[in-house]
Structure 1
Amino acid sequence: MNTKFFKNIEVAKALGLKEEVLYVENQVVSKTLTQTNNVSITLFAFDKGEEISTHSAPGDALVYVTEGQVTITIGNNDPVIVNEGEIILMPANTPHGLVANERFKMMLVIVNG
């Protein structure tokens, strides 16, 4: 059974987000679940100390931390520590970046208007 928009994930099965992407030493691992003109959903696993340098995205971005802890900086705001089970919203076209305080996993949802 296939879906129209989702890939890399089983259909009709309850899954744990933490288990869908695995850590690799000294790397950032990603797994795209869907990517269209309007929305993308990607799972990430970051080893401790890995980072994404400051950049911006054309859509609003929502990060849901599924495991561990990360520090995220958005625009000119003070850095925010985001822990497992927490979410943070990054507005479209606003510079943001992150650094893994420890190994952590997240789901990134980007919505374009």
Structure 2
Amino acid sequence: MTTFLLSPESPFIQLKDQIEYSTSGIISKAIVKDDACQYSLFCLAAQTEITEHTSTRNATIYVIEGNGSLTLNGKAIPLEPGQFIFMPANAPHALSAVSNLSFILILSSTT
């Protein structure tokens, strides 16, 4: 069973307090999920890579801190704080963190 950071009894958090990095790899925290969307916090240690893959759902990334690069449909997009990116379902994408990198990932239904 997944534990979520938000619930009806606790409907808010300070995201900066949830950011944490391991010495390598990824820490992922489920924020909240409803019938249409799933919200997660991803914290990637510097030099971490996520190899190219696709998702059957639309995805949106909002970068909170750090730097990296997202390759979406073969195009490199720099990742830096404040960057907001929409990825349509089934679009090939990969990600690499240059420095410690945290972002919100929102997966949404395509219908």
Residue 34 in 1 paired to residue 46 in 2?
no
Q: Which of 55, 58, 61 is 2:56 aligned to?
A: 58
Q: 1:92: which partner in 2?
A: 89
State the TM-score, normalized to the length of structure 2. 0.85
Between Structure 1 and Structure 2, how many residues are aligned?
106
Give the CA deviation at 1:101: 1.1
| RMSD of aligned residue pairs (Cα, Å) | 1.8
Give the CA deviation at 1:86: 1.4
Q: Which of 72, 77, 87 is 1:74 aligned to?
A: 72
State the TM-score, normalized to the length of structure 1. 0.84
Instruction: Assess, with a 3 A threshold, how the Cα gap between structure 1 residues 7 and 46 changes in structure 2: closer, same or farther.
Output: same
Is the 1:82–1:88 Cα contact (8 Å) retained in structure 2?
no
What runs of 5+ residues in structure 1 fail to find an aligned partner? 1-5
Q: 1:44: which partner in 2?
A: 42
Instruction: Assess, with a 3 A threshold, how the Cα gap between structure 1 residues 75 and 101 changes in structure 2: closer, same or farther.
Output: same
Task: State the Cα deviation string for residues 62-92 of structure 1 (Å, max 9, x = none).
Answer: 000011112000113x211021111111111
Is the 1:18–1:105 Cα contact (8 Å) retained in structure 2?
no
Give the CA deviation at 1:60: 1.1
Instruction: Assess, with a 3 A threshold, how the Cα gap between structure 1 residues 95 and 8 changes in structure 2: closer, same or farther.
Output: same
Aligned-residue identity in percent = 25
